[in-house]
Amino acid sequence: MSRDIEKYKNINKSLGPISTFLIQQLSKKGMTVFTTRDAISLVDINPRNLNKIIHDLVIKGWLRRIEKGKYMLVPLGVDSREPYSENHYLIASKLINPYYIGFWSALHFYGYTEQLLNTIFVVSTKRKKEISLSGVNYKFIRLKPTKFFGISEVKIEGGVVTFSDREKTFTDCLAYPEYCGGIQEIVKGLWKAKEELDLIKLIDYANRMQNSTIIKRLGFLLECLDLRKGIDFGHLMTLVKSGYSILDPLFPEKGTYDSRWNLLINVSKEDLFSFKRT
Task: Give the global pTM.
Answer: 0.81
Q: What is the pLDDT along the chain (278 residues), one digit of tens a residue?
A: 344 444 445 555 568 888 888 988 888 888 888 999 999 999 988 888 999 999 999 888 889 888 889 998 887 665 555 555 558 898 899 899 999 999 999 999 999 998 778 899 999 999 999 999 878 999 999 999 999 999 999 998 778 999 999 999 999 999 999 999 999 999 999 999 999 999 999 999 999 999 999 999 999 999 999 998 889 999 999 999 999 999 999 999 999 999 999 999 999 988 998 887 66
Q: Which amino acid is at 53?
A: I
The burial of 146, by beta-carbon neighbours within 10 Å (0-12 exposed, 13-18 middle, 19 or more buried), is given as: exposed
Q: Is the Cβ–Cβ distance between 216 and 140 less than 8 Å?
A: no
Peptide bond into 98 cis (omega under 30): yes
DSSP annotation string for 132-160: EETTEEEEEEE--GGG---EEEEEETTEE
Run of H or E including 168: helix 166-175
- For the chain, list the domains and their CATH numbers: 3-84 (1.10.10.10), 89-277 (no CATH)
Q: Which of 219, 263, 265, 223 is nearest to 238 (CA)?
A: 219
Q: Which of 188, 191, 183, 187 is nearest to 267 (CA)?
A: 183
